[in-house]
Structure formats: C-alpha cells, structure tokens
Homo-oligomer: A and B are copies of this chain.
C-alpha cells in the first residue's frame, strides 16, 4: 500500500488538485467544489498527496488548510534529469539539421 510520488501524480484529479493548490493553500471543502466527485473522494486524494509529502496540512480551528510542497515535486524532476539530456540533444540535432537545410532553399 506504500505509495510514492509517481503514483500520486498518476491520477488526473490529483494533478488538478496540485495545480489548484500551487497558488494558494486550500481546505478540502473548497477543493471539492472544483470537482464532480464527492467530498470524501477528494479527501482520499488529499490523503494520498499528504502521505507522499506533496502537500502539508495546517490546522486552523475546524478547518484544515493544505498547501503545496514544491520540494517533494522536485523528486520527479530529479528522476527526469538524465532523460532531459537526451531529448535536449535530439532537439539540438534537429536544429542543426534545419540549419543545414535552409541554405539549400535559397
């Protein structure tokens, strides 16, 4: 049942939640209003995101504000890094090809 960041962002609803919370902290109720599913369903997604550390909670009376934790999201970028070099080099190769083709046109 142990989840990780990659499984957390696999769900479209959870990605939408993260996007919403990127700009401001939100309560489960406020979040749920943005989706067609029930509050409890959204609450479950929140629980998953909190468990993997992508969001943190902040208590305020009976309300709970969840806010985004960018540090955890960086884990994905870190995993992505070696691949990034690949697609960047490929794009560079494409640029080179285009540059060599252009002169022929004129």
Which of chain B's residues have a CB closer than 8 A to the CB of A35?
none
Q: Taking CB as reference atom, which chain B residue is nearest A7?
A: B10
Write the nearest CB–CB distance from A74 to chain B, whole angstroms. Answer: 5
Within 8 A of B (CB), among A1-15: 4, 6-7, 9-10, 12, 15
Contact between chains at B77 and A90 (CB < 8 Å): no
Q: Which of B9, B76, B82, B90 contacts A71 (CB 8 A)?
A: B90
Copies in the complex: 2
Whether A80 contacts B73 in the complex (CB less than 8 A), given A6-B9, A6-B10, comes out as: yes
8 contacts between A and B (CB under 8 A): A6-B10, A15-B79, A22-B83, A22-B86, A68-B83, A70-B87, A76-B76, A77-B77
